[in-house]
Amino acid sequence: MLTDIALRALKPADKPYKKSDGGGLFILVQCDGKKFWRLSYRFGGKQKLLSGGRYPRVGLKAARTWRDAAKQQLARGLDPSAERKADKELLRAPVSNGFEDVAREWLETRTLGWSPRYAALVVGRLEADVFPFIGKTEISAITPRTILEVIRRIEARGAVEMAHRVKNHVSEIFRFAIPDGRCESDPCRDLSAAMTKPKPVQHRPKVSARELPEFFQRLGTDGGSRLSHLALRWTMVTMVRSQETRFAEWSEFEDLDGAEPLWRIPPERMKMRSEHLVPLSHQAVTLLREIHGLNIFRKAGNMRLGRFLFPVAGAQSLVISENRMHHIMYRLGLRGKATVHGFRGLASTVLNETGLFKDDWIEHQLAHQPRGVRAAYNSALYLQHRRPMMQWWADYLDTAEKAGLEGKALPAMAITRPRQPQSTVLLPWDD
């Protein structure tokens, strides 16, 4: 049995020689003094030799561990030399570099930060428009011309904006593959100049401030369901997106009987993935009371009173469809002239033109704040300023509706001080 002292004491000789450690393991001392581990063994009736590295880089303890592992392979009927060769081949085998393989890796790193809906959209775009054409191509072999041909197919069906979105996804995949050497550059980098330009962004058409009285006059004569009307009014008075109205839940409301009622919309339901706080005006709280009362009435007809403000019996999503509010606009003769989303633009225009409210207050209330850590920790930013602003907006809508009922034009309004909360009523969270 060898020892470290004995190994260090071994001196070179005129010709190579070996010293045994037992079990087939020995140290080979070369004429230049270098010492190498070797393992002698028999397999298939033949004598074989396996190299175990250089001493002292591979110490005595490590060499014995290696010998024992080789013995275990022999006991299982495996040739240690063949096993080592197979391991080396596996290490030399290239990582899968097909575009689709790399894209799937990229998706795994990104989807945790995306909503399920957006993740499904991105995967669907790649599977429909990219993978069938370049999915099996080595990523390093893909040229700008190849990507442009993929983009041209999308443009050919008139989906110009979609073509730009897909190009951006593909570009991110190439940039993902650059650091580990699977490709050298992003072939999408200079494609924009060769792509069809999308149409300029057009803001959604909206009812103007001058047209508000007539809008409310027509709304008062519409024969649609009251639940749909309440959803539209709620969207207008709170300045939220229709999606945020449709999926509003009773559990998201706070202090409705107090001086500072609040709607706390969780990040997962917001477009910008940040919590959004909506200070509620007196009119908004009144609408909540009516919505709750209507839900209780409907409960007798198998309407489940549960999570949502705007439930629909038997609907797969359990809430009113996105078309409910649109159909009201159509019946009022506003198809192509105004949208539900346009009321957010109207609120922004009116509030900015008053000169009473800062741009930051308005933008924050519209949930246009920047994304990131700062936004995540500032959902309550300007809340005390936004509260009287939202009350002013609700009063403005009331004045416009009153003018419409009286057949008058909308008068100029000054800012009003928040009134005291009205008398309390029983709401779902009081049960």
pLDDT in tens, 130-167: 999 999 999 999 999 999 999 999 999 888 989 999 99
- In this prediction, residue 120 carries a pLDDT of 86
C-alpha 390/C-alpha 238 separation (Å) is: 7
Q: Is 82 found in the same domain as 177?
A: no
76 part of a folded domain:
yes
103-141 b/e with 16+ CB inside 10 Å = b?
bbbbbeebeeeeeeeeeeebbebbeebbbeebbeebbee
Average pLDDT over residues 192-208: 78
Mean pLDDT of the residues in the chain? 84
Q: Is 370 found in the same domain as 238?
A: yes
- In this prediction, residue 35 carries a pLDDT of 93
Helix (H, G, I), strand (E, B) or coil at 297: helix
Burial degree of 419 (CB within 10 A; 0-12, 13-18, 19+): exposed
Q: Is 178 found in the same domain as 110?
A: yes
C-alpha 369/C-alpha 271 separation (Å) is: 11
- In this prediction, residue 416 carries a pLDDT of 42
Tally of CA atoms within 13 A in the half-sphere of 422 that contains its CB: 11
C-alpha 199/C-alpha 160 separation (Å) is: 8
180 part of a folded domain:
yes
Average pLDDT over residues 118-126: 89
- Name which of 241, 288, 316, 307 is nearest 422 in CA terms: 288
- Name which of 232, 234, 238 is nearest 390 in CA terms: 238
202 part of a folded domain:
no
Please tell me the total count of domains within the chain: 3
Just list the catalytic residues: 241, 271, 341, 344, 368, 377
- In this prediction, residue 405 carries a pLDDT of 87
CATH number at residue 186: 1.10.150.130
Residue given tokens 């009003």 in the structure block: 416
35 sits in which H/E element: strand 35-43
96 band by pLDDT with thresholds 50, 70 and 90: low
Q: Is 332 found in the same domain as 351?
A: yes
CATH number at residue 375: 1.10.443
C-alpha 45/C-alpha 218 separation (Å) is: 99
Tally of CA atoms within 13 A in the half-sphere of 398 that contains its CB: 14
Q: Could you read off the pLDDT of 304-360 as tens digits, one per residue?
A: 557 888 887 655 567 888 788 999 989 999 888 888 898 999 999 999 988 889 888
174 part of a folded domain:
yes
C-alpha 353/C-alpha 410 separation (Å) is: 15
- Domain of 146 in residue numbering reads as 99-194
Q: Which residue has the higher pLDDT, 301 or 43?
A: 43
Tally of CA atoms within 13 A in the half-sphere of 254 that contains its CB: 9
Number of alpha helices (DSSP H) and beta strands (DSSP E) in the chain: 17, 7
